[in-house]
A and B are shown apart, each in its own frame.
Chain A
Amino acid sequence: MENEVQVKTEHLVKRYPMGAESFPALQDINLQFMKGEFTGIVGPSGSGKTTLLNIIGTLDKPTEGEALLLGKTISKLTHKEGAKIRNEHLGFIFQTYNLLPVYTVFENVEFPLLLLSMEKKERDEAVWQALEWMQITEKAKVKPNQLSGGQAQRVAIARSIVKKPKIVIADEPTANLDAKNSHRILQLMVDLNKDLQTTFIFSTHDEKVIQYLRRIINLEDGRVASDELVELNGIATQE
């Protein structure tokens, strides 16, 4: 199972209309993501990171070429099918945590499980476990406005992994965090990746994050500039 391909793009192109012209945000992207990967898409602002994550996450569609997610052709998914895949198999983490303000930490983490119509007992167990993984159980009854940025992002990660999705997609998850919290969050994500075999794909242009990556994909002007696997001892090797 280690070699299961979860995401695959073939000659993927994404153009945004710009007046009469169109602007190519992604050009000829050919990538594969395997189960259990811990991959960072790195590049300066405007290089196309969000656009790529959008398509992989079924939130947008390619203009040309193809993208496959868990064996499904993304361009052919209806809105409903896309929602179903996201619901069942994907977790999202946002740069701003986007917790639901009226609900407690526990309820925020519980929400994706309600969408899956999971039984109460099973749900409670899963929520507590996710909170434990993220070391935030003591805040379970608290509302998001009483959390620090780092705590809020840990809750957001707990929410994204509570249903044990196959893939977690995160767009610049540390952009709003200080160094200490960024490190803590990356370490937690690395641990989850190891324990649950969850695939992590995230974008970043944060230097602090790069040392945790197992694979670095460099985007420049919508093209893959490099794609490197990182040895566990920290030495990068050309693929």
Chain B
Amino acid sequence: MIRFILKGVLRDRSRSLIPVLIVAIGVTLTVLIYGWMNGVVDNLMRTNAYYNTGHLKVATRAYWTEAEQLPNDLALTGMDRLLTFLHKNYPDVEWKPRIRFGGLLDIPGPNDETREQGPTAGIALDLFESGKWAERRLFKLQESLVKGRLPRTQNEVLLSNQMARSMNIDMGDEATLIGSTMYGGMAMYNFKVVGVLTFGVQLLDRGSMIAHLNAVQRALNMDNACSEIYGIFKNDIYSAERAADIKQDFNRQKSKPDDAFSPQMKLLTDQQGLGELLPVYRSAWLVLLLIFVAAMSIVLWNAGLMAGIRRYGEIGVRLAMGEDKGHLYRMMIAESVIIGLIGSVLGTAIGLAGTYYLQSVGVDISGFMEDASMFIMDRVRARVTPTSYVIGFIPGLLATILGTSISGIGIYKRQTSQLFKELET
């Protein structure tokens, strides 16, 4: 019987083509949007984790309360012991000490007078560590380099391209950082600019400076201290549960509410409103899915009604021949499942092709992000996940079944007593 129905569906183009197209369009959009939102969430998570929040981050309790001002007088002291503790207790996480600092960058002219001066937001990292999780790699320094080279000695620094250009800085130029030490005094320290970077993240590209951790520690008098310790899961995947466990365990052991200088750990989702933002992005496609199901169902319901009119005779003969209404109704639904499957396969194929395209090419959103304060890569790439292959079948099948279920109710209203008359005209 199913084969019989399949033949009918495949042969009767006018019966199946429009519904198949409707389903395919809805499914394509679902798959695309799903992949796109995946890409956005992935991008946000990654960009934040690497550059901004870590999967986990440790700072002093006091530092947390005014973290935006980069209060290095509230930095973590006893950094080495703290790092040892973290590495030992949570070996599934990479722990990275960093210093975020603000200051003025002063470029001297030929006679030691100031040639250019401008504010900078610096990040100090261990530029010379090696291994898979080296900071150099996390920050994609090599890939982001647009001019010059990576530092080879401790006092060499990298600047963002935008800043280097606006201050007419050349490779090899001296640059003096004027800032404040951990103890509130004035700090002046000479660096040498050896490379220029474009990260592809608006917030970093505006005016940042990447320097070596030890050099900045010396510059700001931060001996064995750092402002933040970042934790990144070694499998690169943020596990909310594991992260929460680590946070709880760490804070229980190390954080003292009555000591503002005691360390405190926070999650990625505790920072920058990401805890609220990510779920919104994650569920955005669900809302769209519901909208698609509703819209497609309505269209398919109407298509079903029209098919019902066109197939009035067929339904009549089948009832006369003794097919019972329930069976006929179920067969109509079986037809719609076939149509839904064909449309879903088609739509999934197109949607996947589109997602793969958007995954490899990406879309540059920097135009929208000029004033944004979000850590996100300018080039957002869609992301195909295993779910991308099946997600479209949900709206595809749901909508066809729903649409047919409603339009097919007409079968139950059909009076057999009128069949002869209806079939004779």
- The residues of A with any CB-CB pair to B shorter than 8 Å are 50, 53-54, 57-61, 79-80, 82-88, 90, 92, 94-96, 98, 100-103, 107, 110-112, 114-115, 117, 171-172
Contacts and interface: CB of A to CB of B under 8 A. Distances in A.
Interface of B: 1, 4, 7-8, 11-12, 15, 313-314, 316-327, 416-417, 419-421, 423-425
Nearest to A88: B322
3 tightest Cβ-Cβ pairs between the two chains A and B: A87-B322, A86-B322, A60-B417
A96 B321 CA distance: 15
Contacts of A61: 417
Nearest to B325: A79
B70 to A, nearest CB: 73
A211 to B, nearest CB: 24
B424 A171 contact: yes
A59 B321 contact: no
A100 B317 contact: yes
Contacts of A57: 320
* Max chain B Cβ within 10 angstroms of own Cβ: one of A98, A110, A112: A98
Contact of B321 (A87, A101, A172): A87
A55 to B, nearest CB: 9
A87 B323 contact: yes
A79 B412 CA distance: 10
Nearest to B10: A102
Contact of B4 (A53, A79, A84, A107): A107
Given A54-B417, A100-B314, A94 B322 contact: no
Contacts of A80: 324, 326
B421 A50 contact: yes
Given A107-B4, A111-B4, A84 B317 contact: no
6 contacts: A85-B322, A94-B317, A100-B317, A103-B8, A111-B321, A171-B424
B419 A86 contact: no
B341 to A, nearest CB: 19
A104 to B, nearest CB: 9
A82 B416 contact: yes
Contacts, number: 89
A83 B317 CA distance: 12
Contacts of B417: 54, 59-61
Contacts of B425: 96
B420 A86 contact: no
| Residue from A53, A85, A86 having most chain B Cβ neighbours under 10 A | A86
A53 B417 CA distance: 10
B315 to A, nearest CB: 10
A95 B421 CA distance: 10
Contacts of A111: 4, 318, 321
B313 A98 contact: yes
A86 B320 contact: yes
A57 B324 CA distance: 14
B424 A94 contact: yes
B7 A79 contact: no
A85 B322 CA distance: 7
B296 to A, nearest CB: 24
Given A100-B314, A102-B12, A60 B321 contact: no
B423 A98 contact: yes
B419 A59 contact: yes
A102 B420 contact: no
Contact of A83 (B8, B15, B324, B423): B324
B323 A115 contact: yes
B424 A95 contact: yes
A102 B8 contact: yes
A84 B327 CA distance: 12
B7 A103 contact: yes
Contacts of B322: 83-88, 90, 112, 115
A33 B160 CA distance: 100
A61 B313 CA distance: 22
A50 B11 CA distance: 34
A101 B314 CA distance: 8
B375 to A, nearest CB: 58
Nearest to B322: A87
A54 B424 contact: no
Nearest to B324: A83
A50 B320 CA distance: 14
B420 to A, nearest CB: 5
B155 to A, nearest CB: 81
A139 B321 CA distance: 22
B5 to A, nearest CB: 10
A58 to B, nearest CB: 8
A117 B1 CA distance: 8
